[in-house]
Structure 1
Amino acid sequence: MDVAGLAAIDVHTHAEVSSKGHASLDDDLHAASSAYFKVEGKRKPTLEETAAYYRERNMAAVIFTVDAESATGTEPVPNEEVAEAAAANPDVLIPFASIDPFRGRAGVKQARRLVEEYGVKGFKFHPSVQGFFPNDRLAYGLYEVVEETGAIALFHTGQTGIGAGVPGGGGIRLKYSNPMCVDDVAADFPHLKIILAHPSFPWQDEALAVATHKPGVHIDLSGWSPKYFPPQLVQYANTLLKDKVLFGSDYPVLTPDRWLADFAKLPIKDEVRPAILKENAARLLGLTRSGGSGGHPPGKRSTVEP
C-alpha cells in the first residue's frame, strides 16, 4: 500500500453483502437504517465494488462485517471473505473482522486464526446490536487475543441507526454502547489498541474523557456528517486529542464524499487536518510507505507486529 500517496484512510466501512448476495442485516433493520441515514445510491455494494469506489478516490478503507448472529439470527458476511477481498485489493482495503462474543471459546479460536492466517488487523464490536456490555467478562477472551496479537478493537458507541424507527427499536438497546463501559476494558487491557466509533451521542463527554485518560483509546468520526459534530468534539480534535482522532465515514450509509465536503467547513487547524484524515490512522494501523496492509492469502501466516 502506497500510504504516502493516499489522500485519506477511512477507518470505518461496512461489508454488507456476501458474494452469494447474503446481507448482514434482515430486511426490516436494513430498510430502517437506510431511512435513518437517508441513503442515496447503492446501499449494498459488493466487496469488489467497495474496493473500486475507494481506488477511484485514492483512499484506503478499513472494512468489516458485524457478527451479531446470537441476537439477530442473521449470519454475518464471512470474515474470511472480507479478508480475501482485502488480500485481492491490498492497495485500498484493510481487513477487520467481527466475532459475536456469545460464540465463546470457538469465537476466541476463530479470532486468533483470522489474525494469524488471514492478516486481519482488528475486530469490530457492536454492543447494542450484539447485545452485550463491553466490560462483560464473556468478551474478555476475545480481547486477550486482540491485545496479544497487536490488533485493534473497534467499538460502536452511542446511538445507532440500526433499528431506528422500527417498533421497539427492533429490540436493540442503546445502553450497551456507553463508552464508559469501554473504559473498563481499557483499564483491564492496558496495551489494547481501541477505537471508539462515532460521536458518542448522548455520551460525547464520556468518550472524550476516556480517550483523554487512556493512552490506547482513539475516536473515529464516522456515522455523522461533520456539520453535526458537538463543539466539544471539534475542540478536542484540535487540541488534546489531535493525535487520536480518525477519519471514518460509515460507508455505504454515509459516503466519504459527503463526509469530506462537510469536514472541509469545520474550523480544524491546518496542521491537524492531515493527521485526522490519514496520519493518525496510518500510525495506529502500523502502515508504512512500502508495507502491505491487506489481508494475507488463506493459509499464510500474518506478519502483524505487536
Structure 2
Amino acid sequence: MDLDAVVAIDVHTHVEADGHGHFSLDDELMDASAAYFKADQLRTPTLDDIAAHYRERSMAAVVFTVDASTATGHPALSSEEIAEGAARNNDVLIPFGSVDPRQGAAAVERARHLVAEHGVRGFKLHPSLQAFAPNDPAYYPLYEAFSELGVVALFHTGQTGIGAGLPGGRGIKLRYSDPMLLDDVAADFPDLQIVMAHPSVPWVDAAISIATHKANVFMDLSGWLPKYFPPQLVRQLGTLLRRKVLFGSDFPVLTPDRWMASFDELEVREEARPLIFKENAARLLRLG
C-alpha cells in the first residue's frame, strides 16, 4: 500500500456479505441494525465493492467480519476469503480476521493460521454478540497468541445496533462490552495492542481513562456520527487523545462520507486531524 496515496485509513469496516449469497447476520438482526443506524445505502456490498468505494475516495480501509457462530448459531463469513479479497485489493484494503473465542483452543489455532497463511493484521472481537466476558482468564490463551503474533485486537465496546429495538435485544448483553473489562486485559498483556471500538457509550469516561492510562490501548471513533459524540470526548480529541484515537466509520451502516461530513462540524485542532485520520492507524498497523 502506498501510504502517500491515501488521505485517511478507516479502521472499522464490516464485510456483511460474501460472493456466495451468505450474510454475516440473520435477516432480523440485519434489519434491526439498519433501522438503528437509519442506513439507506446498500447494506451488503461485496469486498470488491468496498474496495471500489474507498478507492474512489483515496482512502484505505480495515475489513473484517465477526465470528459469533457459537452464540448466534449463524455461520460466520470466511475470514480467509476476506483476507484473499483484501490481497486482491491491497492498494486500499487491510485484512483483519475474526475467531470465536468460545471455541477455545480451536480459536487459537485458527488465529495462528489466519496470520501465518493469510497475513491478517489484527482480529475483530464483539463481546456482546459473541457472548463472552473479555477479562475471563479462559480467553487469555487467545490474547497470548495475539500478543506473540504482534497483531491488533479490536474489541467492540458500548452500545450496539445489533439487536437494538428487538425484544430482549435478542439476548445480546451490553455489559460484556464495558471497556473496563478490557482494562484488565490491557494490564495483563502489555505488549498486546488493543483498540476499543466506538465511543463506548454509556461508558465513554471509562474508555477515555483507559486510553490515556494504558500505552497499548487506543479508541476508534466508529459507529456514531461525530455530532453525537459526548462533549468530554470532543474536548479531548485534539489534546490528550490526539495520538490515541483512530478514524472509523462502521461501513456500510455508516459511510465515510456521512461520518466525515459530521466530523467537519466539530471544533478539533487542525494539527490533530492528520493523526486521527491516518497517522495513528498507520503507526499502529505498522504500514509503510
Q: TM-score range by the shorter chain?
A: over 0.9
**What is the CA–CA distance in structure 2 between the aligned matches of 1:93 and 1:38, rounded to whole Å?**
26
Q: Which amino acid aligns with 1:14?
A: H
Q: Give the letter aligned to residue 254 of structure 1.
A: L
CA deviation map 1:157-200 (0-9, x unaligned): 00000000111101100010000000000011001000000011
TM-score, length-scaled by structure 1: 0.93
Contact 1:101 1:138 in 2 (8 A): no
- Whether 2:216 is the aligned partner of 1:219: answer no
Identity among equivalent positions (%) equals 63
The amino acid of 2:270's aligned partner reads: D
Aligned partner of residue 94 in structure 2, secondary structure: strand
Q: Give the Cα separation in 1 of the matches to 2:228 and 2:167.
A: 26
**1:141 Cα deviation after fit:** 1.3
Amino acid at match of 1:235: R
Shift of 1:140: 1.1
What does residue range 47-58 of structure 1 map to in structure 2 within 5 Å? Answer: 47-58=47-58
How is 1:249-268 mapped onto 2 (pairs within 5 angstroms)? 249-268=249-268
CA–CA distance in structure 2, aligned partners of residues 151 and 235 of structure 1: 30
Q: Distance in 1 between matches of 2:114 and 2:30?
A: 27
Per the alignment, residue 167 of structure 2 pairs with: 167
**Whole-angstrom CA distance in 2 between matches of 1:101 and 1:119:** 20
Amino acid at match of 1:132: F
* 2:101 maps to 1:101: yes
Amino acid at match of 1:199: P
**How many equivalent residue pairs?**
288
Instruction: Provide structure 2 residue ranges, at least 5 long, that are not aligned to the other structure.
Output: none
Query: CA shift at 1:245, angstroms?
Result: 0.5
Q: Is structure 2 residue 73 aligned with structure 1 residue 59?
A: no
For 1:233 and 1:4, the matched residues in 2 are separated by 29
In 2: Cα distance, 1:91 partner to 1:77 partner? 23
Dislocated runs of 4+, deviation >6 Å: none
Report whether the alignment pairs 1:270 with 2:276. Answer: no
What amino acid maps onto 1:286 in structure 2? R
The residue type equivalent to 1:211 in the other structure is A
CA deviations over 1:235-279 (Å, ceiling 9, x no partner)? 221111111110000000000000001111111101001110001
> What residue number does 2:91 align with?
91
What does 1:110-259 align with in structure 2 at a 5 Å threshold?
110-259=110-259
Q: 2:220·2:247 contact (CA, 8 Å) conserved in 1?
A: yes
Aligned counterpart, 1:33: 33
Shift of 1:138: 2.2
- Which residue pairs with 1:293 in the alignment? none
Aligned mates of 1:139, 1:122 — CA distance in 2: 16
- Alpha-carbon separation, structure 1, partners of 2:22 and 2:5: 34
- Secondary structure of 2:182's match? helix
Name the amino acid aligned to 1:116: A
Q: Distance in 2 between matches of 1:232 and 1:115?
A: 37
TM-score, normalization by structure 2 = 0.99
